[in-house]
Structure 1
Amino acid sequence: MINTSVISMRLVKTIIALTLVSLMSACASAPPKDKSADYESAAPTAVTEDVSNMGSIYRSGYGMSLFLDRRARQVGDIITINLEEKTDASKSSSTATGKESNLAIPTVTLLGRGVTHNGVPIVNSGVSSDQDFSGQGTSSQSNSLTGSITVTVSEVLRNGSLRVRGEKWVTINQGEEFIRIKGIVRPEDIGADNAVPSYKVADARITYSGKGALADANSMGWLGRLFQSVLSPF
């Protein structure tokens, strides 16, 4: 006679073992590098060389003007974004309320005399209440980001503004750090060194993060995130 309870227990153990093996293999494998198309560099339109204008001194497509402004102005041009981000925010609030009320009822008399026991009134009533509330809260936040990143022009808008995007990856020992930025830049804000500060980038989206062992050590585990989520009843 086959013992179904033993078979069921072995099946459960096998499923648990396979699940643990799959989880360990998933954790051991390195995550793929996140390359979003939103941050890939934009290449300029290729210039076809005119062979008929080839000469010993002048060559078409290789001319250089001494008075040409070399600042970014078309798709594929390179521009440097100087990161100068610093924000500070603080907020505090304090509330205090109080309320006190008293209500006294005159002594009840019986046949013109007060009801007493051993000379002490026993029918004497009054109501009093006292309410107090005090609350206080403070909040503060600050961040700072400095550095530079070189991006490319991905689009020239109808009003002449430049849409830029780019990213930079740095691999250090056990992990990778990357910074991404995209936004809109006015040509008038570009300096003579072909650079513009980040606070002059409109619709800016700046991301600074990392991957690897150090980043994983600074992140909360899945069980901790479960208890911190809205699904947690605690």
Structure 2
Amino acid sequence: MRYLLLAILLLPACSKLGEVGKAPAFSPVEGSYQHHAMYSNPMPAFAEPDGPTEASSLWTANSGSLFGDRRAGHRGDILTVVIQIDEKAEISNSSGRSRSGSQSMGIPSLFGIPQRLNEKLPEGASMGSAVETSSDSQFSGEGSVQRNEKLTLRVAATVVEELPNGVLRIEGQQEVRVNFELRELIVTGYVRPADISRQNEITYDRIAGARISYGGRGQITDVQQPRYGQQITDTVLPF
């Protein structure tokens, strides 16, 4: 039993031994939604517009022309997602509450009944003040939140699905490796074709259900993270 527990604890560490002395590996593009969308539905060749056109005219209706619409609109198309987050939030709350009350009830006289009951009550007790209660409660609370976020990024995303209502589901992933540290950016969400600009770009605030992940992995990230034993201890111990 002891050896089994030790093997379970050392299993995550053993998986890291293969990365010692090596740079973080890129995530494979093959098998992803982007690769499948572009592989199964390649971009078609530019088609000639219907109807006669003048040989000297610069205007054509296809996307390959000078003034054609080059915006993404089909599965496998690529567009640029512009992420410019500059938000600041500051919230401060303070509340207080206090309450006090007292109640008393007695029967000084009622056809002589209280006087007869007083003879049977313990010494010092009287029906004149049979019940007397008092209460006092106080509460106070304060809270504050301060947050400042600023992020400016651009990433290419691929249309991986066309929904029946015309909305496009996009997914973008970008990885940059510097020495032994890998920076990773992931963007997913749903966009309307009408929100895509003529430059084939869309801002993050027009992406419904946006999921934006910006982080990294590598030697520096590993050093900044607590060890596995400490993480397990923080999760298991109730105090």
Which TM-score bucket, shorter chain as reference? 0.5 to 0.7
Deviation sequence 1:86-106 (CA, Å, 0-9, x none): 444435242342537699xxx
Question: 1:48 offset after TM fit, Å?
Answer: 8.4
CA distance in 2, matches of 1:131, 1:155: 59
- What residue number does 1:97 align with? 98
Question: 1:67 offset after TM fit, Å?
Answer: 4.0
Question: 1:82 offset after TM fit, Å?
Answer: 0.2
Matching residue's letter, 2:229: L
Matching residue's letter, 1:136: E
- What residue number does 1:9 align with? none
Unaligned runs of at least 5 residues, structure 2: 47-62, 105-123, 125-132
Question: 1:46 offset after TM fit, Å?
Answer: 6.1
1:174 correspondence with 2:180: yes
Q: Is the Cα–Cα contact under 8 Å of residues 168 and 179 in structure 1 kept in the other structure? A: yes
How many residues are aligned here?
A: 191
| Residue correspondence of structure 1 range 216-227 to structure 2 within 5 A | 216-227=222-233
Distance of aligned partners of 1:39 and 1:101 in 2 relative to their CA distance in 1, 3 Å threshold: farther
Question: 1:192 offset after TM fit, Å?
Answer: 1.8
| Residue correspondence of structure 1 range 119-130 to structure 2 within 5 A | none
Deviation sequence 1:43-73 (CA, Å, 0-9, x none): 1336589xxxxxxxxxxxxx94344211112
Fraction of identical pairs, as percent: 30
Distance of aligned partners of 1:183 and 1:193 in 2 relative to their CA distance in 1, 3 Å threshold: same
- What residue number does 1:164 align with? 170
CA distance in 1, matches of 2:33, 2:205: 21
Distance of aligned partners of 1:138 and 1:20 in 2 relative to their CA distance in 1, 3 Å threshold: closer
More strand by percentage:
1
1:76 correspondence with 2:76: yes
175-184 vs 64-73, which moves further: 64-73
Deviation sequence 1:26-58 (CA, Å, 0-9, x none): 333227654573454731336589xxxxxxxxx
TM-score where L is the length of structure 1:
0.63
Question: 1:193 offset after TM fit, Å?
Answer: 1.3
Tell me the secondary structure at the aligned position of residue 216 of structure 1.
helix
Q: Is the Cα–Cα contact under 8 Å of residues 94 and 137 in structure 1 kept in the other structure? A: no
CA distance in 2, matches of 1:33, 1:15: 33
- What residue number does 1:26 align with? 15
Matching residue's letter, 2:16: C
TM-score where L is the length of structure 2:
0.62
Tell me the secondary structure at the aligned position of residue 231 of structure 2.
helix
CA distance in 1, matches of 2:161, 2:99: 62
Question: 1:198 offset after TM fit, Å?
Answer: 0.8
Q: Is the Cα–Cα contact under 8 Å of residues 34 and 159 in structure 2 kept in the other structure? A: no
- What residue number does 2:59 align with? none
Q: Is the Cα–Cα contact under 8 Å of residues 41 and 152 in structure 1 kept in the other structure? A: no
Q: Is the Cα–Cα contact under 8 Å of residues 26 and 175 in structure 2 kept in the other structure? A: no
- What residue number does 1:135 align with? 141
| Residue correspondence of structure 1 range 197-216 to structure 2 within 5 A | 197-216=203-222
1:37 correspondence with 2:32: yes
Q: Is the Cα–Cα contact under 8 Å of residues 181 and 207 in structure 1 kept in the other structure? A: yes
Q: Is the Cα–Cα contact under 8 Å of residues 77 and 158 in structure 2 kept in the other structure? A: yes
Question: 1:213 offset after TM fit, Å?
Answer: 1.1
Distance of aligned partners of 1:165 and 1:100 in 2 relative to their CA distance in 1, 3 Å threshold: same
